[in-house]
Amino acid sequence: GAVVSQHPSRVICKSGTSVKIECRSLDFQATTMFWYRQFPKQSLMLMATSNEGSKATYEQGVEKDKFLINHASLTLSTLTVTSAHPEDSSFYICSATGVGGYTFGSGTRLTVV
Amino acid sequence: EDKVVQSPLSLVVHEGDTVTLNCSYEVTNFRSLLWYKQEKKAPTFLFMLTSSGIEKKSGRLSSILDKKELFSILNITATQTGDSAVYLCAVGRRGGADGLTFGKGTHLIIQP
């Protein structure tokens, strides 16, 4: 079945630094990947749609200059949280659409201290 | 604005009980409704429903969609403690280029 690999699974960073999260489709090509954020005890909220070879589409209220998305190949999308602040601490999950529908990565728990 | 509403938000039952989880939605250009189980990490896929009235089953879990009433239910029979999790309902739109809209989830606790 379709597998999406996400790294790192957990990261702690200092306020003001940047963090990059990678999302890879391992056995299929994904022209579109999605990035979600989940705060504690809340549901997943779509942040942006990552399109291979073109600019990402951001949901309302998500700062594109803060959450940089790059989708340079059909198997890799990256999300960079720039100038991270404690309020950016959250669970970030990527997803890709393949033959079996929507497949999720294992998520990245970001803690900004 | 697309909306997915799940109920109840939390539920505590005893092992062996049967539970029904509800999901209602309002979405433009509906394509599919999906159910996921989330324990500690990312959601794991349970069902995808696109047609009304066709029940999907997987072991003790089953789900059905009513596109007229914009509603879906997820049933779990003979519950076990391993069924304890957050169950998420999500809706996808036509085209497949859009991400999913999730409900807040139902936090299910199965007591021994």
Angstrom distances, CA of residue A92 to CA of A32, A39, B47: 17, 9, 23
Residues of A in contact with B104 (CB under 8 A): 42-43
- For A97-101, B27-31, B69-73, which range has the lowest pLDDT when averaged over its residues? A97-101
Task: Point out the residue among A34, A103, A105 whose CB comes nearest to the CB of B99.
Answer: A34
Is B99's pLDDT higher than 90?
Answer: no
Distance CA B6, CA A44 (A): 13
Q: Which A-chain residues 58-77 have CB contacts (< 8 A) with chain B?
A: none
Chain A CB contacts of B88 under 8 Å are: 43-44
Q: Do B96 and A97 touch (CB under 8 A)?
A: yes
Token pair belonging to A24 = 């890879």
Residue A72: exposure state from Cβ atoms within 10 A (0-12, 13-18, ≥19): exposed
A72 pLDDT tier (thresholds 50, 70, 90): confident
DSSP state of B105: -
Average pLDDT in the A72-77 region? 90
A34-66 pLDDT, tens digit per residue, is: 999 999 888 899 999 988 888 899 999 999 999
CA-based nearest residue to B73, from B6, B4, B1, B3: B6
Which has the closest alpha carbon to B9: A90, A42, A86? A42
Kindly state the tokens that stand for B77: 């029979």
- Is A11's Cβ below 8 Å from some Cβ in B? no
Distance (Å, rounded) from C-alpha B27 to C-alpha A46? 15
**CB–CB of B100 and A105 under 8 A?**
no
Read off the pLDDT band of B79 (50, 70, 90). Answer: very high
- Mutation for testing the A interface, residue in B41, B94, B98, B109 having most A CBs under 10 Å: B41
> Among A70-79, B14-23, B96-105, which is the least confidently predicted range?
B96-105
Q: Does A98 touch chain B (CB under 8 A)?
A: no
Does residue B94 have a pLDDT over 80? no
